[in-house]
Chain A
Amino acid sequence: MSVTARKLQGLRLGLAGRSIFPMPRRLGVSLSLVVLTITLCGAVLAPVIAPHDPTAQQILYRLKPPVFLAGASPSHLLGTDSLGRDMLSRLIYGARLSLLVSVTASLGACLFGTAVGLLSGRFGGWLERLLMALVDMQLSIPFILLAVTLIAVVEPGLTSIILVLIATGWPSYARVVRAETAKLNSSGFVEAAQALGQREGQILLRHILPNLLPQVIVLISMELAKFIVLESSLSFLGLGVEPSVPTWGSMAAEGREYAATHWWITTLPGIAVFAVCLSLNTLGDWLQERLDPQSA
């Protein structure tokens, strides 16, 4: 394709002609950023902004609908659950836990997976074969099955959930990083650094690692969404952090028996998970297109 033709095509793509889903990408990305910022602020500032204690039970105010429905109580913006606990406060504290777990686990999985990928991509040989066999084995066992199994036998709690997520999530990073590292091995600047006699550690950290960042960032945004869904699914199954702590998954599970008559109890936490994950995936998609136009 000639340069002009490519430019023309770029122009056409930019104007995005015939779609009935005009949803401008930029709008989607901005909305995602807004959702994520709000969630992050809510999670960090939970004790300050939550209107009520998330575990305080007010039996007189049980099963109150959100303010936009008839019969609502003005002090509970999003209504209350079956024990009269404030939904909004529980959602805010749920965000705190959800983000704490998934961000920590993502960092852990990213660090471990990247280290494994770097080592096996750079040095190859038996190390690579061993590590990649391990990755393949683990990837062949479904994520949720592995998590459920591990949760079944370790003490439930914050630390064990995070460890389980790390244990199930690192192979994705290892795989991507290994492939990219292997590509970079034969690139001019890495060979030049080698020829100049730089130490391996220097080459890995200063020449290879920075060039992996784009792919790793895209992966983090998508894996983070996966972790949030997984954590909430585990809580939903009753295998998450202890039941007294409000989480989005356990809130959805508790509201299930009231779903027919009091829909908000199970719907609101689901919307929270969905909105955050949708935003993360939109952002990830956009980043990927930005960084790697070939794949889009």
Chain B
Amino acid sequence: MGRRLATKVLTSAGALFLLSMIIFLFTRLSGDPASLLLPMDAPPEQLAAMQTALGLDQPLPVQFARYLRGVIGGDFGRSLRYQEPALQLVLERIPATIQMAVAAAAVGWLIAIPLGILAGWKPNSTWDGAARLVALFGQSMPIYWLGILLIMLFAVRLQLLPAAGRGDWRYLVLPAAALSLNLMGSVTRILRVSIRQTLRQDYIRTARAKGVHAHMILFKHALKNASLGAVTVMGLQLGSLLGGTVVTETVFAWPGLGRLIVQSIQYRDFPVVQTGVLFLAAAVLAVNSVVDLLYPLLDSRLRT
């Protein structure tokens, strides 16, 4: 257990380090931050002075080391657009993003888990057909388009729900619905397949032969083993949900981290982009590590 934990933490830290290095390099390659800060017609002496002030005249590895030291000390640089610390801007937006991701996951899983179980339990039934359809639609529907359709129908035509912004629970319904369809697909799919495969196992046949009740077989014997794959997928999904908010937040003008990142890209506000992506990636890695560490609780073969 301790060893697994250590490996996990190390890989995650490695991934974060690599990612921050990539972002840093790309940002530096794509343009001189000093010239972005100054007006277009600034004299070259002023540019040079700015470069020295920002440490841009140093070699890249030195700059990267300085950046990393800042990050570890909690200094992520200042936003070029708002003239505020990037960290503060990012932290302000995190609750909204978490709220949307959690709502979408709740909606999606509440529908997908029963559907997947039923589909695996009764192959070729109506439920199975529905599960197939959900999986197919979830994979093929672009989130932004589903979002626009939902706005057109529920906010414009029927005037039932607000189209954009953040407020009480009604503002959460459409974005959560748009974001959840995508994850429903993969959960139903994996549950359906793994329940079917589990039901073919010898121990299930034994239980049946002993006369164990059908529901007992499903919930006590089959589900336990079939849930492993689903848990993996769901863990990965929480991660991609946090990433998926980038699109959904733009469509629904949701004031979260994803929208901040997209807007900052458009304004070439790189310190904020760097910090936002780093935080999202860290959240994703953390969720995935927790899921990985929970495995032994579900599968006794992994307890060592």
Interface, chain A (partner B; CB < 8 A)? 12-13, 16-21, 23, 133, 136-137, 140-145, 148-155, 222, 225-226, 229, 232-233, 236-239, 249, 252-253, 256, 259-260, 263, 266-267, 270, 273-274, 277-278, 280-282, 285, 294-296
Q: What is the minimal beta-carbon distance from B136 to any residue of chain A, in angstroms? A: 6
Q: What is the minimal beta-carbon distance from B257 to any residue of chain A, in angstroms? A: 10
Q: Do B243 and A252 have beta carbons less than 8 Å apart?
A: no
Q: What is the minimal beta-carbon distance from B155 to any residue of chain A, in angstroms? A: 9
Q: Do B246 and A150 have beta carbons less than 8 Å apart?
A: no
B133 at the interface (CB under 8 A from A): yes
Would you give 17 A-B contacts (Cβ < 8 Å), ordered by A? A19-B129, A21-B129, A21-B133, A141-B19, A142-B284, A144-B244, A145-B284, A148-B246, A149-B273, A149-B277, A151-B265, A225-B139, A236-B144, A237-B246, A253-B144, A259-B152, A270-B145
How long is the Cα–Cα vector from A238 to B156 in the complex, in angstroms? Answer: 24
B70 at the interface (CB under 8 A from A): no
Chain A residues whose C-beta falls within 8 Å of the C-beta of B130 in the assembled complex: 21
Q: A144-B246, A152-B265, A259-B152 are in contact. Are A277 and B140 (CB under 8 A)?
A: yes
Residue in A145, A233, A253, A266 whose beta carbon sits within 8 Å of that of B281 in the complex: A145
Q: What is the minimal beta-carbon distance from B287 to any residue of chain A, in angstroms? A: 9
Q: Do A140 and B285 have beta carbons less than 8 Å apart?
A: yes
B88 at the interface (CB under 8 A from A): no
B14 closest partner in A (C-beta): A137
Q: Do B243 and A145 have beta carbons less than 8 Å apart?
A: yes
Pick from B21-29, B58-66, B71-79 the stretch touching chain A.
B21-29
Q: Do A18 and B124 have beta carbons less than 8 Å apart?
A: yes
Chain B residues whose C-beta falls within 8 Å of the C-beta of A274 in the assembled complex: 140-142, 145
| Range of interface residues on B (Cβ < 8 Å) | 35 or more
Q: What is the minimal beta-carbon distance from B114 to any residue of chain A, in angstroms? A: 18
B18 closest partner in A (C-beta): A137
| A interface SS class | helix
Q: Do B136 and A278 have beta carbons less than 8 Å apart?
A: yes
Q: A140-B284, A142-B240, A236-B144 are in contact. Are A153 and B26 (CB under 8 A)?
A: yes
Q: Do B142 and A142 have beta carbons less than 8 Å apart?
A: no
Chain B residues whose C-beta falls within 8 Å of the C-beta of A249 in the assembled complex: 142, 144
Interface, chain B (partner A; CB < 8 A)? 11-12, 14-15, 18-19, 22-23, 26-27, 29-30, 124-126, 128-130, 132-133, 136-137, 139-145, 148-149, 151-152, 156, 193, 197, 239-240, 242-244, 246-247, 250, 261-262, 265-266, 270, 273, 277, 280-281, 284-285, 288
How long is the Cα–Cα vector from A161 to B90 in the complex, in angstroms? Answer: 27
Chain B residues whose C-beta falls within 8 Å of the C-beta of A226 in the assembled complex: 139
Q: Do A21 and B126 have beta carbons less than 8 Å apart?
A: yes
Q: What is the minimal beta-carbon distance from B52 to any residue of chain A, in angstroms? A: 24
B136 closest partner in A (C-beta): A281
Q: What is the minimal beta-carbon distance from B260 to any residue of chain A, in angstroms? A: 12
Chain B residues whose C-beta falls within 8 Å of the C-beta of A282 in the assembled complex: 136
A18 closest partner in B (C-beta): B125
Q: What is the minimal beta-carbon distance from B6 to any residue of chain A, in angstroms? A: 15
Q: Do B27 and A153 have beta carbons less than 8 Å apart?
A: yes
How long is the Cα–Cα vector from A254 to B144 in the complex, in angstroms? Answer: 13
Q: Do A153 and B23 have beta carbons less than 8 Å apart?
A: yes
Q: Do B247 and A236 have beta carbons less than 8 Å apart?
A: yes
How long is the Cα–Cα vector from A18 to B239 in the complex, in angstroms? Answer: 37
How long is the Cα–Cα vector from A273 to B30 in the complex, in angstroms? Answer: 31
How long is the Cα–Cα vector from A136 to B292 in the complex, in angstroms? Answer: 13
Q: Do B239 and A154 have beta carbons less than 8 Å apart?
A: no
Chain B residues whose C-beta falls within 8 Å of the C-beta of A18 in the assembled complex: 124-126
> Which of A153, A260, A273, A277 has the most B CB atoms < 10 Å from its CB?
A153
How long is the Cα–Cα vector from A280 to B140 in the complex, in angstroms? Answer: 9
